[in-house]
């Protein structure tokens, strides 16, 4: 009788463990839709990285810019500023074009110092299945060079050249575009 009870208990425990499903949790290390990685360089000496002073990046149709300082409050305007030499910009996954206004010295009230340039990125998208828990991610392929729109504020452009380094945007571990100024 004791043996039968032990066998039944063991079978019950085994059924409980085999009946469980794997957790559907998307881990933080899972690859997601990559951002367009941009590096800024000195136009007269391309080997030197050059930070952009008080840069903001605002996509057309958006009211706020790209968040560069996530630790700051959503009401703090410094949340949308960077003085870095590398940035990541998200691209729209529902279209084939994203336009950004990149503003150098965006906090300046002096119009001679504050300078904005519009850049249009054209691309194709490809959805890739990651897992049941994570769903899909989108990769991008840049089609041609980014287009620098005419400056409607003044004729002074701060960006002198844009070079595509890697047209296939599948990871954020590499630079896709170099901007010289």
The reported pLDDT for the residue numbered 12 is 60
Q: In the numeric block, which tokens belong to residue 7?
A: 């066998």
Q: 106-125: per-residue pLDDT in tens?
A: 999 988 889 999 999 999 99
Q: DSSP label at 49?
A: B
Per-residue model confidence as pLDDT tens digits over 53-75: 999 999 999 999 999 999 999 99
The residues that bridge with 99 in the sheet, in sequence order, are 120
Residue % of the chain over a pLDDT of 70? 83
- Dist. CA 30–CA 44, nearest whole Å: 39
pTM of the model: 0.83
- Domain limits of the chain? 36-180
Rounded CA-CA distance 106/90 in Å is: 20
What is the reported pLDDT for 19? 56
């Amino acid at each position: 009788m004791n043996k039968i009870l032990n066998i039944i208990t063991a079978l019950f425990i085994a059924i409980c463990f085999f009946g469980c499903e794997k957790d559907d949790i998307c881990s933080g290390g899972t690859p997601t839709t990559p951002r367009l990685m941009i590096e800024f360089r000195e136009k007269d000496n391309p080997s030197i990285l050059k930070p952009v002073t008080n840069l903001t990046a605002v996509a057309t149709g958006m009211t706020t810019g790209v968040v560069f300082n996530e630790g700051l409050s959503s009401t703090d305007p410094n949340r949308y500023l960077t003085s870095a030499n590398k940035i990541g910009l998200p691209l729209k996954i529902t279209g084939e074009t994203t336009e950004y206004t990149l503003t150098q010295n965006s906090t300046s009230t002096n119009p001679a110092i504050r300078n904005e340039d519009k850049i249009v990125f054209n691309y194709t998208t490809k959805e890739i299945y990651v897992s049941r828990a994570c769903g899909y991610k989108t990769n991008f392929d840049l089609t041609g060079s980014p287009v620098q729109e005419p400056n409607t504020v003044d004729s002074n452009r701060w960006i002198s050249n844009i070079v595509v380094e890697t047209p296939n945007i599948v990871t954020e571990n590499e630079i896709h575009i170099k901007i010289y100024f």
